[in-house]
Structure 1
Amino acid sequence: MTSNDEYQTPFNTRYCSEEMKQLFSPRTRFSTWRQLWVHSDSSFSARLRVSASSRLTKVQVWLAEAEKELGLAGISDQAVAEMQAHVTIKDNEFAIVAEEETRRRHDVMAHVHGFGLVAPSAAGIIHLGATSCYVTDNADLIFLKKGLDLLLPKLATIIKKLSDFARKYRDQACLGYTHGQPAALTTVGKRACLWIQDLLMDLRNIERSRSDIRFRGVKGATGTQGTFLALFKGDHSKVEELDDLVTEKAGFNSVFKISSQTYSRKIDLDVCNSLGSFGATCERIFTDIRHLAMMKEMEEPFEKDQIGSSAMAYKRNPMRSERICALGRKLQNLPMDAVATYAHQWFERTLDDSAIRRISIPESFLCADALLLLLDNVTSGLVVYPAVINRRIAQELPFLATEHIIMALSEVGVSRQEAHEEIRVLSHQAAAVVKMEGKDNDLIERIRKAEFFKPIIGQLDQLLEPKSFYGRAPQQVDKFTGPGGEVEKALEKYGDVAREVGRVDLNV
């Protein structure tokens, strides 16, 4: 059957970057299992770019080399050379391994068999002293770490672009809302800073979960290192040295000193929680943007030939923002898989973690990656409509200005209580015109015509100036996003992050 005859995840066909798809691909997974025996001098990122038909070069052994360095007999140069030559699993090997797994019902042993066929001199020492989780868990930890390494710079890029947007619109007044109702004014830039602040929390959470990832190392069937102790004839120091040496060769700075057969599934939970929290942030921010698009104050980029609706040709639907909300909702729910998996583990390990982790962990990373591509696309071209914003302010500002008018009257000797009553009556009359007749707010015209307000008529224009209603919003934007501010400090380690993070498929 062709791919069109089988279900294809939208993460693969529509949403994600090639580098993230490749990271969680079968070839990368199973080559990394082999890599746990054979190490490449090139970086992991470079390995991801190796084509399917090419081979890794300049390799050296992880487990086998470390065992050999520490004096373990039986590992020949020929065995190492053959392993070196076949680190990257080739297309024709997948079928051989699949057939073996059908017979043995054990994926790791099927791959040990497949590796042994192409490296016959090493067949007897592949997996020496190790349990399946040596390759599966250590590989998963590599994928977690490298996956986060792919996501973090993209998130930094989004924060930088939104910060530029916030500075551009630092003093563009707009209606603020509480309870979904017009409240005191804020600015477009200040509102964007609310979004940025939440994204900075996500950046911090993901960075922390990344820094907490350690290597499982060589621990054996229940984490006691018993098989390795036997291999080294009871020499505890050699076993500890082996654990540290393999960890170093794998590119990790630290190793879990305590593990069961697996590394603690709380690590998965921690990583997935940080990604799920980011998913919630995405839905939160882009619900705002969808509402603003509904009010025609702001909208996502819209291409020249883009069609908003098959029936209503005039429409400019916020389809990318809607997709972000949908994927954000998916991502924020995926941590529940990790919660249940961690909570339901028995003693040193049970296998009910395996199938669910094969799905939920890659999907968490693919979903986060898809969201970051979309966020980059939208934040690179957000459109603001000041004329619409100002018109909406004009409809509400007379009501918002009533307290300013009362205070101005008090300053010229008018009773505050009397002023309050006069303006209350006129406000209700103006509100009735807006609600019952669908006309513009005429409160200011009513005030100008009323004799009671004559003492402050000359101040009305000044009292209605929008900038007097948004407080320190522009200065807050400057402090937050400017030199020495929170945003700059958080992004320092990412260097020049103002770049495009990837292509977005605009199909829904």
Structure 2
Amino acid sequence: MTASDRPQPAGTSAASADDATMLLFAPGTAPDAAAVGDRALLGALVEAEAGWVGAQADLGLVSQETAAEVVAALGAPADYPVADIAADAASGGNPVIPFLAHARQKVAGLPGADALHRGLTSQDVMDTAMVLVLGRTIAVVSARLEAVISGFSALSRSYRSTPCLAHTLTQAALPTTAGLRFAHWTRSVADAREELARVVPTVQLGGAAGTRAALGEIRAENEAGLSGTDFEAAWAARLGLAAAGYPWHVDRLRVLGWAQALAGVSLAGQRVARDVLTGARTEVGELREAGGGGSSAMPQKSNPTVSVLLSRTGQEAPGLLATVAQAVGQAVDERPDGAWHAEWTALARLQLGALTSARLLGDLADRLEVDAGAMRRNLEAAGPGVVSERLVHALAPDVTKTQITEALGAAADAGDARERLAAVVPAARRSDLGALLDPAAYTGEATALVDRILATLTTLDPDSSAEDPSKGSDS
């Protein structure tokens, strides 16, 4: 029975692949959904099985010509009925089983048909396919983040010494510079990119229960002096992945590491977005997104939509990461009973979040506008209290901290503060008060820190670029 034959709830029809995307629930993700969607996974399943046939040819177990015929017969993802495979996956608990049913039909009658999936189990193929998708995701996200780092670095340099108000625990604190704030954005994104660079996508090869027993049977049939390590290395080489050296079917901490690296991208994006959303408030007015989103009811509005979507994506990441973390601890026996399955959607959505966040960060870097005048006005509006730390150090021991606190607390503005302080400052020190009360002159090492932070940034290998699915690649 196919998906179209099954009874449907009243008012519904059999779901197509497009019907199941749920993109309307996740604005901003559409350009990247295909990169981690059903077709991407199905393509990776085809590639994994084709790579396994090719690996056997590389090991001399089948001829290269025979393997090429089988691989050609497997076809492309578009040749497989996604909706039917998805529906039939329920019976075996994973999509590899129904996918293989279609794949075997395609290669039936070919001399090398028995090489398809020989010695593998569904977890080998599912895990390896997920890793293939993951590797491509990481390459694209890393390339996008490199562009973001460049954009934020330029922004930081442009506003290196622009004074603005720092906040701690939501309250006005001391003067800082916009450049230093932007430099910290840049460093956060760079940290996320560097975590991605540490991910090593590896094939999974264990066989039915992680013992690779079936590989021994293949060796015996062909009288080949091969080990499981040889099979793993050949498969990894075919797929452009690393070889772990052993089955990791229940050693899932590596999956948690992948999930953490992906979540880090979304969280770095959220961290930047929260600053922008605060700065873009009407009463603050320090930041704005050029060409911001409109309102269905209020035509005067220009909403910071990119930052809103970045914040949304970041808020989703911890829950998805928690799902993967819980699955790691539940990876019992030689194949987990549900924990393995729980990883799939969480990891896919974390990949989608990382892709979306990296792209939106690039949009933000391109369209962010900074109002230095508003920053100066807000700094001055915070009052002379923002330089109280400086006054305590500069006027001691002639003036006590209590006297400074009382003078600033009663002052209406900087001019009033100067007069009140002049009343308690020795005459010889009164000429210093104007400079001491200037908040723009109390930014510490902010400009030097901008240079120091930006100097810590590294660039990716220029050969590590990846095609961007949002630019029209075929995923």
TM-score w.r.t. the length of structure 1 is 0.77
Structure 1 residues 161 and 495, CA gap change in structure 2 (3 angstroms): farther
Q: Distance in 2 between matches of 1:185 and 1:6?
A: 52
Counterpart of 1:41? none
Instruction: Trace 1:198-217 onto structure 2 (pairs within 5 A).
Output: 198-208=188-198, 210=199, 212-217=200-205
Calculate percent identity across the aligned residue pairs: 18
Amino acid at match of 1:380: D
Aligned residue in 2 for 1:287: 274
Instruction: From the superposition, tell whether residues 463 and 502 of structure 1 become closer, same or farther in structure 2 (CA, over 3 Å).
Output: farther
Unmatched runs of 5 consecutive residues or more in structure 1: 39-61, 434-439, 504-508
Counterpart of 2:398? 416
Give the 3-state SS of the residue equivalent to 1:362 in structure 2. helix
Residue-by-residue CA offset, 1:26-77 (whole Å, 9 max, x unaligned): 3332233222243xxxxxxxxxxxxxxxxxxxxxxx323433454436x794
Report the CA distance between 1:330 and its aligned residue.
0.1
What are the Cα deviations for residues 254-300 of structure 1, in whole angstroms up to 9, with x where unaligned?
3122225x263222211111222333333333222222222424223
Tell me if structure 2 keeps the 8 A contact 1:269–1:342. yes
Give per-residue Cα distances to partners, 1:459-506, cap 9 Å, x unaligned: 33333344430112112212322xxx112xx22425899x99958xxx
From 434, 439, 443, the equivalent of 2:416 is 443
In 1, the alpha carbon distance for the partners of 2:246 and 2:464 equals 39
Letter of the aligned partner of 2:39 in structure 1?
A: R
1:161 corresponds in structure 2 to 151
Aligned to 2:102: 114
The 3-state SS of whatever aligns with 1:186 is strand
Establish whether residue 486 from structure 1 lines up as the match of residue 456 from structure 2: yes
- Match 1:276 to one of 263, 266, 274: 263
- Match in the other structure for 2:407: 426
1: CA distance between counterparts of 2:30 and 2:116?
Answer: 34
Q: Give the distance between the partners of 2:228 and 2:16, measured in 1 at CA.
A: 47
Rounded to whole Å, the distance in 2 between the matches of 1:76 and 1:444 is 86
Counterpart-to-counterpart distance in 2, 1:25 and 1:451: 70
Structure 2 unmatched runs, 5+? 1-12
For residues 424 and 84 of structure 2, the distance between their equivalents in structure 1, rounded to whole angstroms, comes to: 95
Shift of 1:323: 2.2
Alpha carbons 1:137, 1:263 under 8 Å: kept: no
Amino acid at match of 2:310: I
The AA in structure 2 aligned to 1:152 is S
2:97 maps to a residue whose letter is M
Q: 1:140 aligns with which of 127, 130, 139?
A: 130
Answer yes or no: is 1:477 the counterpart of 2:450. yes
> Corresponding residue for 1:399?
385
Structure 1 pair 107–425 and aligned structure 2 pair: CA distance change class (3 A):
closer
Pair 1:451–1:272, CA change in 2 (3 A): closer
SS of the equivalent of 2:333 reads coil
Match of 1:34 among 17, 31, 46: 46
Q: Give the conservation status (yes or no) of the 8 Å contact 1:407–1:416.
A: no
Q: How far apart in 2 are the matches of 1:167 and 1:134?
A: 49
Q: Judging changes above 3 Å, is the alpha-carbon distance between structure 1 residues 229 and 427 closer, same or farther for their aligned structure 2 residues?
A: same
Task: Write the distance in 2 (CA, Å) between the matches of 1:102 and 1:88.
Answer: 23
**Residue matched to 1:185:** 175
Q: Pick the aligned partner of 2:240 from 251, 260, 279.
A: 251
| Aligned residue identity for 1:332 | P
1:16 maps to 2:29: yes
3-state DSSP of counterpart to 1:14: coil
CA deviation profile, 1:113-136 (whole Å, cap 9, x unmatched): 212222221444422222122321
- Across the aligned residues of Structure 1 and Structure 2, the Cα RMSD in angstroms comes to 3.5
Bigger shift: residues 7-16 or 172-181: 7-16
Paired with 2:275 and 2:17, the residues of 1 have a C-alpha distance of: 37
Residue 88 of structure 1: CA displacement? 0.6
CA shift, 1:245, in A, is 1.5
CA contact (8 A) 1:166 1:193 kept: yes
The number of equivalent residue pairs is 452
Contact 2:418/2:437 (8 A) holds in 1? no
Distance 2:231 2:395 in 1: 83
For residue 416 of structure 1, report the CA deviation from its aligned partner. Answer: 1.6
Q: What do the CA deviations read for 1:331-365 (whole angstroms, capped 9, x no partner)?
A: 12211111111111112112413542331111111
> Quick one: distance in 2 between partners of 1:396 and 1:118?
72
Q: Which has the larger radius of gyration?
A: 1
The one-letter code matched in structure 1 to 2:179 is: G
Q: Distance in 2 between matches of 1:167 and 1:500?
A: 28
State which of 329, 332, 343 in structure 1 corresponds to 2:329. 343
TM-aligned CA deviation for residue 163 of structure 1 = 1.0
Letter of the structure 2 residue corresponding to residue 486 of structure 1? T
SS at structure 2 position matched to 1:129:
coil
1:405, distance to aligned residue in structure 2 (A): 5.6
TM-score, L = length of structure 2: 0.82
